[in-house]
Amino acid sequence: MENILEVKNLNKHYDKFALKNINFTLPKGAIMGFIGENGAGKTTTIKAILDIIKSDSGDIKIFGLDNQQYAKQIKEDIGVILDDMFFPEILTPNDINNTMKNIYHNWDSQMFNNYLTEFSLSPNKQIKTFSKGMRKKLEIATALSHHPKLLILDEPTSGLDPIARAEVIELFQNFITNPDCSILLSTHITTDLEHIADYITFINDGEIILNKTTDEIINNFGIVKCNEEEFKTIAKKDYLKYQKSKYQYSVLIENKQAFKNKYNITTIDKVTLDDLMVLMIKGVK
C-alpha cells in the first residue's frame, strides 16, 4: 500500500520537552487519528510535518517528497487546520476567497462559496462577528477548497455543536472516498475517531506509545474487571496497564481471546479510545 505521509525517527528538543524518535506512516485512502493529552506532542509533530518548525533530526516525506526540500510544491496539495490558526478578524470570507486565489493554483471559488452556503456563513460579514464554531467552519471550508490530497487537521471540530460536528465528519468521510486522499486528524473528541479512523497513533510525553488499526483496538483490546484475588493471578506480560479503585481492578489487555483462553475471568468490557488513553497514561504497569 502506497503511503501519502511517512515520518521516520523525528526528533525535536526544547528546554522542557522533546519529540523522541517519532515513527508512523499514513497510507493513501486512509484516516489516521492522532491522539494524546495536552502537551503530549501532537501539535509539535504536525508543525514539524508542515515545516513550520524545523526538526533536529529525522525524515518526513509527503507524496514521496522531502517536506523541507519540496515544501512549496507540497503545500499545493495539503489542506490544513491548526488549533492556533486564525484569520485576521477584520477580513470577510470574500476577502479570504480573493487572497487564496493568489496562494493556491487549484483554488476553487465556487466550491468555497458552496461551503459558505452549506455552513450558513455570510460572505460579507467580518470574521470578528463570527462565533467560535462559525470560525472553525470557515477554516474547514478554506482547507477543502483547493482540492487537497492530504488534510492535516488539529482539533478541526473544536467548538462545534454535535450536529455541526456530524456534518463536518461527513465531509471528511466524503473527502476520503477518493482513494488518492488521506487525513491526519488530531482531536480530543475520540468518539469521532472510533467511527471514521482507520488507524490510531497515540503519543505521550513526546513518544509514540501505540500505533494500531482502529479495528485492532476495538475488536482485540479489552478491560478486565476483577477483584484483588483475581488480579493477583494475572501475569504482568498478559496486560498493558491497570488501575485500582475501591472495589475492583480495571486491567487493560491487548488480546481478549488469548486472555479468555488462559484465565477464568469472564468480565471483559469493550475498550473505548477514552478508556485506552486514561489507562495507558494514568494506569500502572
Q: In 3D, which of 245, 254, 154 has the Cα closest to residue 209?
A: 254
The alpha helices in 27-152, defined as continuous H runs, are 42-49, 71-75, 93-101, 109-118, 132-144
Write down the pLDDT at residue 266.
80
51's CB contacts (< 8 A; 6+ apart) are 67, 68, 71
Q: Which residues of 88-123 are buried (b: 16+ CB within 10 A; e: fewer)?
A: eeeebbbbbbeebeeebeebbeeebbebbeebebee
Beta-bridge partner residues of 12: 19
CA dist 24 and 236 (Å) reads: 27
> Residues spanned by CATH 3.40.50.300 within the chain?
3-213
Tell which residue, 75, 282, 81, 278, has the closest CA to residue 187.
Answer: 81
Indicate the pTM of the whole model.
0.93
What superfamily would CATH give domain 3-213? P-loop containing nucleotide triphosphate hydrolases (3.40.50.300)
Angle, to 10 degrees, between the axis of helix 132-144 and the axis of helix 93-101? 20
- Rounded Cα gap, residues 202 and 188, in angstroms: 12
Enter the C-alpha cell of residue 54. Answer: 524545523
Q: What is the pLDDT along the chain (285 residues), one digit of tens a residue?
A: 699 999 999 999 999 999 999 999 999 999 999 999 989 999 999 999 999 999 999 999 999 999 999 988 999 999 999 887 778 999 999 999 999 999 999 999 999 999 999 999 999 999 999 998 899 999 999 999 999 999 999 999 888 888 888 888 999 999 999 999 999 999 988 988 988 999 999 999 999 999 999 999 999 999 999 999 999 999 999 999 999 998 899 999 999 999 999 998 888 999 999 999 999 999 998
Residue 30, by phi and psi: left (phi above 0), alpha (psi -120 to 50) or beta?
A: beta
What's the distance, Cα to Cα, between the start and end of the chain in Å? Answer: 35
